[in-house]
Amino acid sequence: MFSKTAQYYDWIYSQKDYRAEVNKLLAIIRKNHLSVSERLLDVACGTGQHIQYLKEHFDVEGLDINPELLELAHQRNPEVTFHEGDMIDFDLGCKFDVITCLFSSIGYVKTQENLKKAIESMAHHLNPGGLLIIEPWFTPQDWHPGTLHAQVVDEPELKMIRMNLSHSEGRISYFDFHYLIGTLDGIEHFVERHELGLFEKEEMEAAFIAADLQVTFDEGGLIGRGLYIGTA
C-alpha cells in the first residue's frame, strides 16, 4: 500500500511540526491520563516522526500496515518495537496506557463498519483508565470537492511536485496524487489514489461508545482537525 512513495513521505510533509504536535498531545494526556505504567502505542505510525518525540516520555511502540514506512520508522527509532498490522483488526497480545492514531489516518478505514472495528481493536489494547486519542479526517460538511492542491520539494538531488484535485463519491473522499519526481537517475511520473471515509461527529462518538469508551472531543486538536479522546 503506497510502497512507491514511502521513501518520499518525509520530504512531502517536511513542514509538519511533529514536536509541537507531541507537546500538545502531552498536555492532553497529562490532563486526562489515569493509569501509571506509561506504555503508548502509536497506530498508523508512518515513518515514526511522532514516535521520535513520544519516546522521550513513554515506553512506546508503533503499528502500521505499510512495511516500507515501518522500515523508515525503525531506522529513525532503532530502539523501538514496531508491528506490521491493520488498524481494523490487530492483536498484539498486550495492553497500553495510551493509544494514539494521528494525522487523520482513521479515514483510511473508509466505512462505518470498519470504523467500529478499528476503534474496538484499539480499545481492546487499553488498560483500565487508559486513553484512546484519534485525530479525525474531515466530516462530510467540511470536505470540499473540486479544490486544487500542490506540494513542492526542491532539493539539490530531488525535485518533486505532488498535485491533486479533491473529489468525493457518496461518503468517500478521494484524490489521485500525480507525482512528478526527478532525481539524478531520471524523471518519472505516476499516480497514486487515496480514499478516506467521511464520518460525522456523531458517528465517531458512537464508535467510541460501542467500544465501551467514554468520549470527549477537543475542537482544536493538534492541527485544527480536532481530537477524539476515549477513556477505558
| pLDDT tens, residue by residue, 107-135 | 999 999 999 999 999 999 999 999 999 99
Residue 172 CB burial class (10 angstroms; 0-12, 13-18, ≥19): middle
- 164 with 66, same domain? no
Q: What is the average per-residue pLDDT within 151-155?
A: 97
- pLDDT tens digit string along 174-193? 999 999 999 999 999 999 99
- 73 with 165, same domain? no
Q: Where in the sequence is the domain holding 214, given as residue range(s)?
A: 3-137+199-231
Q: Does residue 130 form part of some domain?
A: yes
Give the three-state DSSP class for 200: coil
- 218 with 153, same domain? no
- pLDDT category of residue 4 using cuts at 50, 70 and 90: confident
- pLDDT category of residue 37 using cuts at 50, 70 and 90: low
What pLDDT score was predicted for residue 32? 83
- 114 with 225, same domain? yes
- 27 with 13, same domain? yes
The conformation of residue 123, written as its DSSP 8-state character, comes to: H
pLDDT above 80: residue 49: yes
What pLDDT score was predicted for residue 51? 98
Q: Does residue 87 form part of some domain?
A: yes
- 88 with 131, same domain? yes
**Pick from 227, 225, 224: nearest CA to 216:** 227
For every residue of 62-107, DSSP letters joined together read EEES-HHHHHHHHHH-TTSEEEE--TTS---SS-EEEEEE-TTGGG
Q: Does residue 142 form part of some domain?
A: no
Outline where 125-173 has alpha helix (H).
none
Q: Does residue 174 form part of some domain?
A: yes
Q: Does residue 143 form part of some domain?
A: no
Structural domains counted in the chain: 2
- pLDDT tens digit string along 93-103? 999 999 999 99
pLDDT above 70: residue 1: no
- 18 with 29, same domain? yes
The helix (run of H) or strand (run of E) holding residue 112 is helix 112-124
What pLDDT score was predicted for residue 34? 63
- pLDDT tens digit string along 58-70? 999 999 999 999 9
What pLDDT score was predicted for residue 35? 58
Which CATH number belongs to the domain containing residue 181 in this structure?
A: 2.20.130.10
- 77 with 12, same domain? yes
Q: Does residue 38 form part of some domain?
A: yes
**Pick from 20, 14, 4, 70: nearest CA to 42:** 70
What is the spatial distance between Cα 177 and Cα 9, in angstroms, rounded to a whole number?
Answer: 13
The conformation of residue 9, written as its DSSP 8-state character, comes to: H
- 81 with 121, same domain? yes
Which CATH number belongs to the domain containing residue 215 in this structure?
A: 3.40.50.150
Q: Considering the chain, what is the average pLDDT of its residues?
A: 96
Are 49 and 80 in contact by the 8 Å Cβ rule? The answer is no
- 94 with 173, same domain? no
- pLDDT category of residue 2 using cuts at 50, 70 and 90: confident
Q: Does residue 70 form part of some domain?
A: yes
The conformation of residue 175, written as its DSSP 8-state character, comes to: E
